Amino acid sequence: MKHKDFDHINCSLAQTLSVIGEHWTLLIIRDVFMGLRRFGELQKDLGIAKNILSERLKRLVAEQILEKEKGESGFYEYRLTEKGLALQPILLACVHWGDNYRPSANGARVVFVDRKDYLPIQAMSVRSHDGRLLNPKDIRAKRGPGFSSDNSDTPLQSWTTAD
Amino acid sequence: MKHKDFDHINCSLAQTLSVIGEHWTLLIIRDVFMGLRRFGELQKDLGIAKNILSERLKRLVAEQILEKEKGESGFYEYRLTEKGLALQPILLACVHWGDNYRPSANGARVVFVDRKDYLPIQAMSVRSHDGRLLNPKDIRAKRGPGFSSDNSDTPLQSWTTAD
DNA sequence: CAGTATCCTACGTGATACTG
DNA sequence: CAGTATCACGTAGGATACTG
């Protein structure tokens, strides 16, 4: 039958995944973050089929994550919107986890540095309102005002119930 | 033909996606974070087919993201390992983005609070080594020691080349 | 309860050829 | 160059029945 669509699930995670959770999508976005702009560049770099790339880009433009414009070169260029740029923490968190837990033999493949001083940025971390570093089990999830406002509901107890 | 596998790509992002990028996987992990432990609980909550859930759980256990043990109840229980718990920043970043850019009508669906003082945690953000908040265009990517050490290579210019 | 085993379908993907 | 169109195919996913 038809695959279930995450889109209807009233859950911010599912919502996010419905946009960037498709295969290839996050890799495309990464490439645009990396400075690739043109269809051909992306296609060549990723080794993705053109029709797939075309579909994904169309979707991302529709979602206002990318903008398509004619660049100075006269070719079409894809650029990240503010909404797209806001995905950066997700990407960085993924890269960081990958570097830690599925490392290359020789160490980190990429290092992100502050443009100003060229010093590495902090690892993505969870912090309390006053800046303390929090461990996974230090936080709880509470239902917000938007919880279960539409039909579908997601149960919500505690975020990391440490037994 | 066969779908391309991200696994071989020497990129920390692709590595991460090869583990948690499959459909359902991140939602399963979220549920375990939320306190669900048992096969049936997960299956019921997600509305996922049992065979799919079974496959995903097996994979996650093999990847040492989940541990399967007999709980006190006498039933099998799945719990996050340290490697699994380390996925939390990714999840939080996704939830945060979803709340911001694909909001529910009534506001945030979930609020994460510090267990100690019940105050909301900070939004996931990128910070410099000395704690300054960085914008997407404030950072650059540099190749690390593990870059392109294996065959496959990913081009690497600048992370968010602001034109 | 916690899965495993089948069957079936449709979707995602890749390859290739074609268009402006 | 930047796609669109078409086709073929594997497999992910759903449903259901079955097992320990």
Chain A residues near residue B13 by CB distance under 8 angstroms:
26-27, 30, 91, 94-95, 98
According to DSSP, the residues that pair with B120 across neighbouring strands are B113
Measured distance CA(B79)–CA(A161) in Å, rounded: 10
Q: What is the pLDDT of residue A118?
A: 94
Q: What is the pLDDT of residue A151?
A: 37
B110, pLDDT greater than 90: no
Q: What is the pLDDT of residue B40?
A: 95
What's the pLDDT tens digit per position in A89-144? Answer: 999 999 999 999 988 888 788 889 999 999 999 999 999 999 999 999 999 988 88
**CA B3, chain centre distance (Å):** 22
Domain B12-85 bears CATH identifier 1.10.10.10 = yes
Q: pLDDT > 70: what percent of chain A?
A: 87
**For chain C, which bases have at least one atom within 7 A of a protein Cβ?**
1-7, 9-17
Token pair 């380390």 in the structure block, residue: B86
DSSP-assigned states of every residue in B17-70 = HHHH-STTHHHHHHHHHTT--SHHHHHHHHT--HHHHHHHHHHHHHTTSEEEEE
Measured distance CA(A55)–CA(A65) in Å, rounded: 14
Chain A residues near residue B107 by CB distance under 8 angstroms:
144-146
B35, pLDDT greater than 60: yes
Tokens of A54: 């075309």
- Judged by C1' against the alpha carbon of B47, the nearest nucleotide is D14
- The answer to whether residue A149 neighbours chain B at the CB level (below 8 Å) is yes
Q: What is the mean pLDDT of residues B133-158?
A: 70
Tokens of B60: 């996650």
Q: Helix or strand or coil: residue B151?
A: coil
Q: Can you give the distance from the CA of residue B162 to the C1' of nucleotide C15 in angstroms?
A: 36
Tokens of B129: 């080594």
Measured distance CA(B54)–CA(B62) in Å, rounded: 12
Q: What is the mean pLDDT of residues A46-55?
A: 94
Could you give the C-alpha distances from B101 to A16, A22, A86, in angstroms and in order? Answer: 9, 17, 9
Under the banding of pLDDT at 50, 70 and 90, the label for residue B3 is low
Domain ranges of chain A: 12-85, 88-138
Tokens of B86: 């380390």
- C-alpha closest to that of B98 among A18, A66, A125: A18
Any idea how long chain B is? 163
Q: Is the distance from CB of A45 to CB of B154 less than 8 angstroms?
A: yes
Pairwise pLDDT comparison (A3 vs A64), residue with the higher score:
A64
Q: B13 and A27: CB-CB below 8 Å?
A: yes
In one-letter notation, the amino acid at residue B88 is Q
**For chain D, which bases have at least one atom within 7 A of a protein Cβ?**
1-7, 9-17
- The answer to whether residue B126 neighbours chain A at the CB level (below 8 Å) is yes
Q: Is the distance from CB of A121 to CB of B129 less than 8 angstroms?
A: yes
